[in-house]
Amino acid sequence: MKQMKNNFKYPNTNSARAKITDLDEKFKGMRIAIIGLGGTGSYVLDLIAKTSVAEIHIFDKDIFQLHNAFRAPGAVSGDFLNDNPNIAKVDYHYQTYSQMHNGIIIHAEHVTETNIHLLKGFDFVFICIDKNKARCFIIKNLLDYDVRFIDTGIDVQRKGNVLDAAARVTMGSTEKNDHLTNRIGNDERENNEYNSNIQIAELNSLNASLAVIRWKRSIGFYMDLKFEHNTLWFSSTNKVINEDNQEPDFHEKNSAA
């Protein structure tokens, strides 16, 4: 049974002031999982924590290190990092967002074959990791579990004295997944500057925002006239390309829900 309670520590006066409290009902009872709390995943958490979903499960085994502070929401003090050199990412972010949201549940572990079953029953999953082999394994099982998801990705290449960046948001479900093979590769890229460049918080936050907005459109919070399942943004042209649209009958059925 889905959880139905006040999921904030204090009243949501923001929605009340905007007179959109009725739209908040679309989030009620939802269980969300975020896999990976690096730059993009931490921004996804920041945005989801400001909705009235029932539960937010965060999965990550890694330690919150100095370089993480440069691509995560907010600011962490040097004293905190010195006093907590081995704090897990899930614990660090739990300390922050549990001050606002009641339903945050931590999993200090990577998603593997031994715990993939934990993803059964979620309403939506955000995949925010940078290993293609792992994301493909997770996606295969989410399709088997009939769980909707969004996979995020950033690609940054150094071109002389500038960076050429792209951000990707790919949504999938049992109803629409024929595009996934072309959008999410199995091979690991060795020349992706994202693995070493820490000064890209704006790319992480953009990737997360595109992902969360896509999710909100899919549940009817925002208007959705295209129901695309793949979005690409390019820094070189500032263009956004939307592709892999869902069939009209599916879109109309879900818009009326």
**CATH number for the domain that contains residue 33:** 3.40.50.720
Beta-carbon contacts of 152 under 8 Å, excluding residues fewer than 6 positions away, are 40, 44, 126, 127, 128, 167, 168, 169, 170, 207, 208, 210, 211
User: What is the rounded distance in angstroms from the CA atom of residue 96 to the CA atom of residue 90?
Assistant: 10
Mean pLDDT over 13-29 rounds to 90
Handedness of CA 207, 104, 147, 38 (dihedral sign): positive
18-22, 122-126, 246-250: lowest mean pLDDT where?
246-250
pLDDT band at 184 (very low <50, low <70, confident <90, very high): confident
Residue 26: is its pLDDT beyond 80?
yes
What is the pLDDT averaged over residues 222-233?
Answer: 95
How does residue 4 score in pLDDT terms, banded at 50, 70 and 90? very low
- Looking at the 3D structure of the chain, how many domains does it have? 1
Task: Flag whether 8 is in a domain.
Answer: no
Structural domain of 108: 13-255
Does 3 map to a domain?
no
Dihedral sign from CA coordinates of 90, 93, 95, 101: negative
pLDDT in the model for residue 201: 93
Q: Is residue 161 part of a domain?
A: yes
State the average pLDDT over residues 33-44.
96
Tell me the C-alpha to C-alpha distance, in Å, between residue 11 and each of 7, 29, 154, 222, 239: 10, 17, 35, 23, 38
**154 is a domain residue:** yes
Q: Which of 43-47, 103-107, 174-178 has the lowest mean pLDDT?
A: 174-178
pLDDT band of residue 158 (cuts 50, 70, 90) is confident
CB 148 within 8 A of CB 123: yes
211 phi, psi to nearest 5 deg:
-70, -45
Mean pLDDT of 114-134: 94
In this structure, of 12-21, 100-109, 136-145, 215-224, the range with the lowest mean pLDDT score is 12-21
Is the pLDDT assigned to residue 10 strictly greater than 50? Answer: yes
d(CA 29, CA 3): 5
* Average of per-residue pLDDT values in the chain: 89
The confidence score (pLDDT) of residue 141 equals 97
The yes-or-no verdict on residue 116 having pLDDT over 60 is yes
By mean pLDDT, which of 11-20, 78-87, 145-154, 240-249 is the weakest?
240-249
CA separation for the pair 11, 143 (Å, rounded): 36
pLDDT for 2 equals 44
Tell whether 143 is covered by a domain.
yes
Q: What percent of the chain lies above the pLDDT cut of 90?
A: 74
